[in-house]
Structure 1
Amino acid sequence: MPTKVTVNSGLITINDGSSFLVTASDGSIDENLPQGFFVWDTRLISYYEISLNRCRLSLLASSNISHHDALYQFTNPQLPIINGTLPPGSLLVTVRRDIVEGMHEDIDITNYHNETVKFQLMLAVRSDFADIFDVKSQQILTRGETETKWENSVLTTEYRNGSFFRSIVIEPVCGSSEPRYANGRLMFDVVIAPGKTWHTCVNFTALADGKVFKPQNSCAVPHNTKAGKVRDQFLMNATKLRSSNAEIAEYYQQAIADMGALRIEVDDHGHQFWMPAAGIPWFVAVFGRDSIISSLQAIAVYHEFARGTLLKLAQLQATELDDWHDAQPGKMLHEKRRDELTTLNLLPYHPYYGTVDTTILWIVTLAEAYNWNADVSMLDECRTPLEKALSWIDKYGDFDGDGFVEYLTHSSKGLRNQGWKDSGDAIVYPDGQLVEPPIALCEVQGYVYDAWLRAALIYEVWGEKEQAKKLRQKAEELYQRFNGHFWMEEEGFYCLGLDDKKQQIQSIASNPGHLLWSGIVPQERAKKLVNRLFQPDMWCGWGVRTLSSQNPAYNPISYQRGSVWPHDNSIIAAGLKRYGYHEEANRIAEGIFAAASYFQAGRMPELFAGIERQDNNFPVPYPDANIPQAWAAGSIFLLIRNILGLKADASKKQLKLQPNLPDFLPDLELTNLSVGDATVGLRFWRDGEQTQWKVIHIDGELEIST
């Protein structure tokens, strides 16, 4: 049994929609650390501590129960009380927290001492209303005014800075004794007879921009929010997986649960859809690239995510030039925030458009969603956004007219790098020096090639063959141009990109692996590319590193200069499968699944270190990695899809299979797999070195073949 590695050790995180709580394992909140209760990108509770007669409790155990509630169990230390000293271990203190828009807390104290005990329960609470970006950087600045009042046993703290307003209302209810408030503490005089239990609830109601985030206000009622109902609906409708390899089934189920916890509501003309947020705790917001890629990864599991993401991004598509927000007409957003700095226009995230690939991948996702749902009305609704996105590629994506899409921020607060590797130090030359934008990344050209070909298919659905022909011609010209400018013959690999002087950035990185997924690589070059990806400087055993270990800038515990990202590897594996490299695709799946076996509950973190895999070590998590994280969870779905080679054409009522089960996965069963109006159940198993399959259930019309 592998050693279990904890990501963000010592923290417990729960959420419901955009509300989330990050505490230490003992339930406390330290205002000097990235912890707290957050709503709409603002920290509403920055300090929290429970004590008995000012003595801290002794933690017995704590854990998440689900994504929205957590349980903490304590006992007392040796405790001075009015009539003597209470021996340690005399009390069992149970704290349960449930995020239901707001937060509900239950506190139960049972007396196992042989005498009645009397003491004071204190809840120390403070609110700094810090901006989420300040909390993340741990550089807290107070910009507005805070006011606290205690009235009718309700503690209300309000924060104002110009038009920006937030408030937290704390109300003890159902208590065995009445609360008091003084000196920053809620206090209860507790008296408990032997064998009896004292109880109180505390409701935390948040107010933000006129919206009230009210918690469930009674004890022991099942979680029943709208978000919870939609999560349950998602869990019911998603594709199910079973296997004799219980670990793989566990990873899949955990990924389903994580994706269900990361939903953001999308309203489209009165119809509700859902899209995945990027991750908890730092990315509980509408994101472009993350949501698009997560939707693509999950499309064989639940293709409604793709629809919700497509519609939401189309609603927020840029309509004008705006350098502060890095916006151009037709461009899809990078992220949208509601924090104080953004509201006051000190940051450009309402929304921010500094991403070079989201617009292009939106087109890819639109076509792939149609492959799975055959919904012409969805295509029709997205027609205008599609036309604007295609126009953006030509006019603003390729802003210097050299035939390649590049990026360059025009915002004083914009991102230096705008591909998926968007940290400021991610793109380097072979000598480790930073590359100055504008930069034309290799994988972005592959995305454009794929987007034009897929858009051609959409125009054929509309009967516009001439437009489809033009798009295919553009794709063919890009294919030739790209392969002439980006290939490095000596390395047998594609360069990372072109720099501001149109010279090759000849660093060896994971980016060219995405080119296989897009299909822009000639067959005769694919083998060289694949071989290079699996050389020891790139392949660490757990996965493909983001940057070669031979590069002077390599750091296995950095964010994007040598770490391993599960989503990156899942896309590379999809490309390997596309080009017929089944064993290599399965090799990546084995590495990622092996890493998952070390993480608690098989939950994939956003990234982990690119340290070489050995018999006597384990994958090392990156500090502060988001978990759950949408495209990390989605990597499990895409790796399974790669193994089975699932390819849908719902408009023709067809599902193609190309299964190749690896040794570690002797059998697998999918049920409730949806293609158009049909649902199907499939069973796969290894027979020697071959993979066999059969249909175990089908509802609706669907032709299934290899």
Structure 2
Amino acid sequence: MGLARDARILKDGELFVVSDERGDLRRTLPGAGVYARDTRFLSELWLLLNGEEPELFDSSAERTNTAIFEFGNAVFRDEEGRDILAHTISLRRCRSVRRGTLDEELVLENYNAFDITVELAFVFAADFLDIFEVRGFPRERPRGRILLPQQQDHSLRLAYRAPDDVLLETEIVFSRQPDTVTTEPSATHLSELALPRMLLPGHDQLIRAPGMIHPPRAFVLFHLKLPSHGRERLALRIAPRELLERRIAVRVPDVSRLTEPVEPPTYSFARARTDHELFDRVLQRSLDDLRALLTPFPGGRLVAAGIPWFVAPFGRDSLIVSLQMMLFAPELALETLRFLARYQGRKHDPWTEEEPGKILHELRFGEMVRLGETPHSPYYGTVDATPLFIVTFCEVMDWVGTPALFDELFPAVQAALHWIDQHGDHNGDGFIDYGRISPRGLVHQNWKDSHNSLLFPDGRDPVPPIAAVEVQGYVYQAKRALAAVLQRFGKPSHQVLVARLRAEAEQLRARFEQRFWSESDQFYGQAIDGQGRLVPAISSNPGHCLWSEIIGPERAARVVERLFRSDLYSGWGIRTLASTMPHYNPMSYHNGSIWPHDNALIIAGLRRYGYHREALRLASDLLEVAVSFPYYRLPELFCGFGRDEAECMVPISYPVSCSPQAWAAGTMPFLLRIMLGAEARAAERRLTLRPAFPDWLTEVEIRRLRFAGTTLDLAVRRQAGRYTLEVEADPGITVVLAGSSDDFRR
């Protein structure tokens, strides 16, 4: 399900709201609503001024938890029979989400030379749909019963009794008592409604659309007297009861309090400044988005994958974001590891695809999960989260590791390693692979998880179990990195494991080079299927293998050359699939689109192999992309049309994407680390920088960088092709500038 490009999205904690550019929640905007814990607690909210929609002048949701909407009145006749001209009454709608509630203040100002009484009407409705239903997934069981709206003094109550007898409520409280409240009866047994069939974007299967579910509406009317050149205020607060486990009181809103600026949620990131204003704006946008996506869940806090459809814990997404943010907040990765360790697989369960040691894919809390209609309690259908868990652990140990932290997390790492070795290879060919087990599970379980993201050139589907090319690199990286961490933090008894891990990594590398390389294409295939056949799709996936360093130097050169041919490189980035492939589509989800996080991992790999020019070219492309999108926000993905195509003077947006999205938000912080070439060794209290800046960047300052139990400030500057370093750090911390010139440019 797509969102309109002019949708306004706000989030704080577990609560988020999706509205149109007017701030309204309407049936005409798919997905509009107020959400929490995977439930839509309000599906309609719109307003009328004297029976007409006020004219929208402008709106903005640049801040992640605050939006402003500016309106002017349409022509109307007042109670005294006077014709009131258009644009003589202003209406400002100020919305914020914070501490589990949606607050809204309306300020009306009369610019006429006489007093006017106006009617301000609100329409409310709540369907209490599970977010899977909102996205179009079919129900297997009848839904519960929606109760009729109830008014009491200043408040309005919307409620729903679920089939498992859970009561969900939405409390709407006004700063003054409404003049009238009326209700519109509608169907309350929603399971009997005939729903149209539609295509969910990225899928070919027909599914039911939720657009015809119409819960009862409540109409709330206020009469407001506006003095000449005076103003009047009205405030309301919307509180989903599922968020009130902490017993937050729902009170009549204090209008004076609502007018105060709303500060975004705080999280301590390192501070960065460069001499490039646009880069700084994109970077700040990214950090603000990541703060907004940081969400408290049962079991801990971590970055949700994206708004609106993926405000949930995702193993792969949270781990990649943690790696992207290591320079700015290594504690974020630590929180992520602890959270995922709490939910680490303990048993074999075909419904959820849980296995001992496996890291979860997705965790949900809505009605369909409670009733057992979906396996997301959590669902473990991911092949790459488990090796990425080990990779992230090793990065955390390098940045902030201590013996105590090693002892705390190593049992979970051992369990993850056990899953890789004992459960990850289903057909014994020496490669970690996947195949759907749960009837409601994912067909593809690597990062390109849409149903048609992996095809033979003739359109045939590969036969599971499927070994994805980039996942072998993750396993190789995990084993090599873990061996190094064990050398630094492990006990003498771990040295046997160190030798084993290194040997297994080299054996995997040899098998990988033998089986995944295509001589005819001079490139790595996208996967090997269960019948041992190489899927010879030319894709971005092997670019991740540069990041994991599983590729030998000679073939790495061929991979880099192939990535930058015009069928893969669009001028804006590396496509997910080459335009020469039969199933290429630049408007598809995974078969020709461009993903910023995908490119960021490729950029990291290019730097590791010494391809600095190519890395900086891609980094510059991504900056241009970010600047071209609203709020300087990198999108989750965008279309793969070439920069040289007449219709592609700017990157073309993809209509079905999350905004903000975690991987995309983590890209710019990650690029800054890549450009600095920052590599940490907490055990040695040594931070090494190998800077390589693009032409548009000459200075980077970072303050309060967390490393080895302390914080430090540093500044790297380039002048006449040479780099200099300034550091303020505690005694015993060593920061080294290696490779202090731009020799690679010559």
Q: Deviations over 1:654-687 (max 9, x none)?
A: 1111111111223222222221123333323333
2:473 to 446, 454, 469: 446
2:257 aligns to what?
Answer: 221
Q: Deviations over 1:308-337 (max 9, x none)?
A: 100000000111111111111111101111
Q: Deviations over 1:597-645 (max 9, x none)?
A: 1012221110001110138610111112111111101111111111111
User: Quick one: distance in 1 between partners of 2:699 and 2:413?
Assistant: 41
User: Quick one: distance in 1 between partners of 2:568 and 2:284?
Assistant: 30
> Matched residues, percent identical?
34
For the pair 1:641 / 2:692, whether they are aligned, the reply is no
User: Quick one: distance in 2 between partners of 1:630 and 1:417?
Assistant: 21
User: Quick one: distance in 2 between partners of 1:89 and 1:611?
Assistant: 42
User: Quick one: distance in 2 between partners of 1:369 and 1:63?
Assistant: 37
2:614 to 574, 580, 584: 584
Structure 1 residues 179, 15: CA separation in 2 closer, same or farther (over 3 Å shift)? farther
Q: Which runs of 5+ in 2 are unaligned?
A: 184-217, 739-746
Residue aligned with 2:657, SS? coil
Structure 1 residues 306, 558: CA separation in 2 closer, same or farther (over 3 Å shift)? same
1:185 aligns to what?
Answer: 219
1:701 aligns to what?
Answer: 732
User: Quick one: distance in 2 between partners of 1:332 and 1:53?
Assistant: 55
8 Å contact from structure 1 (residues 207, 213) kept in 2:
no
TM-superposed CA distance for 1:66, in Å, is: 1.9
For the pair 1:205 / 2:239, whether they are aligned, the reply is yes
8 Å contact from structure 1 (residues 661, 691) kept in 2:
no
2:92 aligns to what?
Answer: 94
User: Quick one: distance in 1 between partners of 2:385 and 2:150?
Assistant: 46
Residue aligned with 2:587, SS? coil
Q: Which runs of 5+ in 1 are unaligned?
A: 1-5
TM-score by length of 1: 0.94
8 Å contact from structure 1 (residues 104, 215) kept in 2:
no
| 1:186 alignment partner AA | V
2:294 aligns to what?
Answer: 263
2:167 aligns to what?
Answer: 165
User: Quick one: distance in 2 between partners of 1:335 and 1:358?
Assistant: 11
TM-score by length of 2: 0.89
2:324 to 297, 303, 306: 297
2:413 aligns to what?
Answer: 386
User: Quick one: distance in 1 between partners of 2:107 and 2:3?
Assistant: 29
Residue aligned with 2:135, SS? helix
Cα RMSD after superposing both structures: 2.2
Structure 1 residues 128, 82: CA separation in 2 closer, same or farther (over 3 Å shift)? same
| 1:219 alignment partner AA | V
Residue aligned with 1:205, SS? strand
For the pair 1:489 / 2:488, whether they are aligned, the reply is no
| 2:556 alignment partner AA | A
User: Quick one: distance in 2 between partners of 1:142 and 1:105?
Assistant: 34
User: Quick one: distance in 2 between partners of 1:679 and 1:596?
Assistant: 30
User: Quick one: distance in 2 between partners of 1:593 and 1:700?
Assistant: 37
2:378 to 338, 351, 355: 351
Residue aligned with 1:103, SS? strand
1:539-688 counterparts in 2 under 5 A? 539-614=569-644, 617-688=649-720
Q: Deviations over 1:560-613 (max 9, x none)?
A: 100000000000111111111111111110111111110122211100011101
| 1:39 alignment partner AA | A
User: Quick one: distance in 2 between partners of 1:306 and 1:82?
Assistant: 61
Structure 1 residues 373, 220: CA separation in 2 closer, same or farther (over 3 Å shift)? farther
User: Quick one: distance in 2 between partners of 1:223 and 1:199?
Assistant: 10
8 Å contact from structure 2 (residues 173, 250) kept in 1:
no
User: Quick one: distance in 2 between partners of 1:106 and 1:258?
Assistant: 24
8 Å contact from structure 1 (residues 245, 664) kept in 2:
yes
TM-superposed CA distance for 1:178, in Å, is: 4.1
| 1:221 alignment partner AA | R
1:104-119 counterparts in 2 under 5 A? 104-119=103-118
* Greater Cα offset, 402-411 or 64-73: 64-73
TM-superposed CA distance for 1:8, in Å, is: 4.6
Aligned residues between the structures: 689
| 1:449 alignment partner AA | Y
1:112-127 counterparts in 2 under 5 A? 112-127=111-126
User: Quick one: distance in 1 between partners of 2:138 and 2:502?
Assistant: 51
| 1:566 alignment partner AA | P
Residue aligned with 1:512, SS? helix
For the pair 1:462 / 2:462, whether they are aligned, the reply is no
2:210 aligns to what?
Answer: none
Structure 1 residues 75, 215: CA separation in 2 closer, same or farther (over 3 Å shift)? farther
| 1:21 alignment partner AA | V
TM-superposed CA distance for 1:171, in Å, is: 1.2
Structure 1 residues 186, 222: CA separation in 2 closer, same or farther (over 3 Å shift)? closer
* Greater Cα offset, 252-261 or 659-668: 659-668
TM-superposed CA distance for 1:136, in Å, is: 2.2
User: Quick one: distance in 1 between partners of 2:224 and 2:269?
Assistant: 48
User: Quick one: distance in 2 between partners of 1:51 and 1:514?
Assistant: 52
2:10 aligns to what?
Answer: 14
2:21 to 14, 18, 25: 25
User: Quick one: distance in 1 between partners of 2:695 and 2:244?
Assistant: 56
2:127 aligns to what?
Answer: 128
| 1:252 alignment partner AA | L
User: Quick one: distance in 2 between partners of 1:115 and 1:370?
Assistant: 70
| 2:653 alignment partner AA | P
